[in-house]
Structure 1
Amino acid sequence: MAINFKKFVPRPGLVNKQGRLPDPSELVCVEVPKVFDQCLIKRCLVYADGPDTLTTDEELRSNPLENPKRYLSSRDFKVRLLSVDKIPLKGDPNFKKIILNYVISFYSDYMDDNGATQCEFYEIYRTDVVGKFYCPDSIAQISATSDEECEDEDLNIIKLEMVAEALAGEIVEDEAGEEVLDITLGYFIVVKCQLLVQLLIPTYDYCPTPREACEEDPEEDPCERFEKAPVPRFYPDQNLDPLFPEYDETER
């Protein structure tokens, strides 16, 4: 039996596979970027002098450091798309060869001999080629207006989404005898081709006004919080094999 719409409160959340939703109140047309194709770039880069390759980058070495003691960690990873070249493929111009030029930036922290934390800034300029990418051109031409200007919008969007981390950091001596920090960088980049389209979707009206939850929690006495806390486990789980085999239907 379907859920009574009067008892249904529309809100974001998981949809139970066993449950049923009431019929939507209306169909609406929304304008959103739709992903037409995507692919994954996975790289593990180490420092090496000379031209960049699929596994090396000469910009993964810092400037000379003053009395470094040890590498700590890296943070604030960002990716910025610099330029995109789209070359239509013969036979189907909707498929294109994509040449991406982008830069990855981050900070690496290290400790000096005085125990103070210092940091180095890295910018890694990379070029990658996607051999065959479904990135069709928009059929409709749209012009947007505002109070300030009127200009044609770029309907085809190439978007990069990145997850990156410094896999290792090592303080070494360079050819001049200076101490430098070499970073091993690992990252995943999802390349997306998006096109601004109009989609027809079912809706349940506007999202309801959220409950009042933007108030600061009152400070709780630490001893009161300790009294309410459950008793901790004193021993870890034992690594034991089961005494009996799993239940077997043939035993019935």
Structure 2
Amino acid sequence: MSINFKKFVPRPGLVNKQGRLPDPAELVCIEVPKVFDQCLIKRCLVYCEGPDTNTSDCELRSDPLANPKRYISSRDFKLTLISVDKIPLKKPHGFKKIILHYTISFYSDYLDCDGKTKSEYFEINRTDVIGKFYCPDSLSQATTTLGEEICDNNLIKLEMVADILHGEILKDEHCDEVLDVTLGYYIVVKCELLVQLLIPAYDYCPVPRESCEEEPEEDPCEAFDKAPVPKFYPDQHLDPLFPDPDCSDEDDLD
């Protein structure tokens, strides 16, 4: 059964029912970065002197602090890709050994003995090696309208989610008070290649409705009156008084 296109308003949204969309208006060719391969780097790093390892980093200790009281939290995580080395493998074709050089930076806030919040800047330099990564070279050569040749259509992209799992103020070997942090992060490494894809399309996205206006302030007593009555007691998680007969039958069969 065909869907009446006139009654359908194309817009971004969740497709939660099959057979409710009309046939597309056209097939269009778009140029987008397509992911050819990806892998996950998961690290939990603590401070340790010496060379960096998969579990430690020598830059996770702050400079000496003046009268620190306690660690608060960390913020403004930033990932910067410094360089990528791609070493072709003989077999299979298109696979490469990838060497990544990147930095992770963030600020850690702490409270001093005078009750003031201060910040310490951290930046760690990391190197990771992906032994086998499908990263094929583009078969075509591209150029722009300005006559500039695009030498490499192949892109290595990093996406990160990071957090400080623990922060501790302690004394170092020189009896100076420092902040040691434990950094946990996930990095998804993607190999992207600029390609042309043929996709179904309905039309250009419609102009959204006006929704950028400021919300009027609601009277707190009116909001209180509309709010549901809260629960007075927490949920109970108790064991049943009597055994489940289904479970007892299964036990007897065993």
TM-score (normalised: structure 1)? 0.92
How far apart are 1:214 and its partner, in Å? 1.0
Q: Which residue of 2 aligns with 1:80?
A: 80
- What does 1:1-252 correspond to in 2, within 5 Å? 1-146=1-146, 150-152=148-150, 154-241=152-239
SS of the residue corresponding to residue 10 of structure 2 reads: coil
Aligned-residue RMSD, C-alpha: 1.9
How far apart are 1:241 and its partner, in Å? 4.9
Distance 1:102 1:78 in 2: 10
How far apart are 1:190 and its partner, in Å? 0.3
Q: 1:129-163 deviations in whole A, cap 9, x for unaligned?
A: 000000000011111135xx834253110000001
How far apart are 1:3 and its partner, in Å? 2.6
CA contact (8 A) 1:144 1:153 kept: no
How far apart are 1:240 and its partner, in Å? 3.8
13-22 or 111-120: bigger deviation: 13-22
Distance 2:245 2:10 in 1: 43
Distance 1:11 1:153 in 2: 37
How far apart are 1:91 and its partner, in Å? 2.5
Distance 2:143 2:160 in 1: 31
How far apart are 1:20 and its partner, in Å? 2.9
Q: 1:146-191 deviations in whole A, cap 9, x for unaligned?
A: 5xx8342531100000011101011111111110000100100000
Q: Give ranges in structure 1 of 5+ residues lacking alignment.
A: 248-252
Q: Give ranges in structure 2 of 5+ residues lacking alignment.
A: 247-254
Amino acid at match of 1:174: D
Distance 2:210 2:244 in 1: 53
How far apart are 1:14 and its partner, in Å? 1.2
Distance 1:121 1:65 in 2: 12
